[in-house]
Chain A
C-alpha cells in the first residue's frame, strides 16, 4: 500500500525555525514527485511546491518561493518542508502529496497532515 506518513503537530514561536517530514512507503520513492499543500484554518487548499527525490529537482509556487524550502533524503524515503523564520501567518495544516504522473498531476495519496501553530 502506498502511504505518506507525516511528522506530528508542532507549536512554535514567531522567528523560530522548523522542518516537518513526510515518509513515503510502499512504492519506489525516487520515481515520483512529492508535493506540499497548505490549508489555513477554515480555508481552501494551496499548492506550495514539489520535488523529485531522484535528483532533487524542485519547483515552487511563486507565492511560496523564498518562504519555505522543500528537500528530500532518498536514503530514508523522506521529504521535508522547512522554514527558517516562522510567522504567525504560517499557522496551518500542511499536507504532503504524491503526484502519480510527473511534476504536473493530480495528488494521490495524501499524508495525514501536520498541524503547525505559530504564536506571536
Chain B
C-alpha cells in the first residue's frame, strides 16, 4: 500500500494567516490526490481533487499543488470557518489511502 504522511499533525494559526499543509506519498502517485476538510461531528467534505482542481463551491482561498510524491494544501487567508482537520487521499492505486490528518487550531 502507498503510505501518505501529512505534516504537521497540528497547526496553530490566527485568522488572516496563510497556512500550508504538506502530504508526502511513499511512492509516486502522479497527480492522483484529493484534499478533504472535516469539522467535528461532521462528514469530510471534498476541497481539491487531482492535486490542484478546486471543487465547485469551495472558496478560492484554498489551493493545492504538487505531483509525484509531494503535495501541499494552502489556505491563503484563514477564516474562522476554516478551523478543522484536513486529510489528503491518494487514488493512484489500491488500497486507496488517507494521510493521518492535520488539525488547524486557533492560536
Q: Tell me the A residues contacting B by CB distance below 8 Å.
A: 35, 44-47, 59, 61-63, 95, 104-113
Contact = CB atoms under 8 A, between A and B. Distances in A.
Given A45-B101, A47-B98, A110-B45, 6 more contacts: A45-B87, A47-B96, A104-B96, A108-B55, A112-B43, A113-B43
Interface residues of B, number: 24
Contacts of A105: 49, 91
Contacts of A44: 87, 98-101
A62 B95 contact: yes
14 contacts: A45-B44, A47-B97, A59-B94, A61-B94, A62-B95, A95-B43, A95-B44, A104-B32, A104-B96, A105-B49, A106-B34, A107-B34, A107-B89, A112-B43
Contacts of B100: 44
Interface of B: 1, 32, 34, 36, 43-46, 49-50, 55, 87, 89, 91-101
B49 A63 contact: no
Which applies to chain B's interface (DSSP): helix, strand, loop or mixed? Answer: loop
B46 A106 contact: yes
Of listed B55, B96, B98, B101, residue having the most chain A CB within 10 A: B96
A11 B32 CA distance: 37
A109 B91 CA distance: 16
B94 to A, nearest CB: 7
Nearest to A64: B95
B95 A63 contact: yes
Nearest to A111: B43
Contacts of B87: 44-45
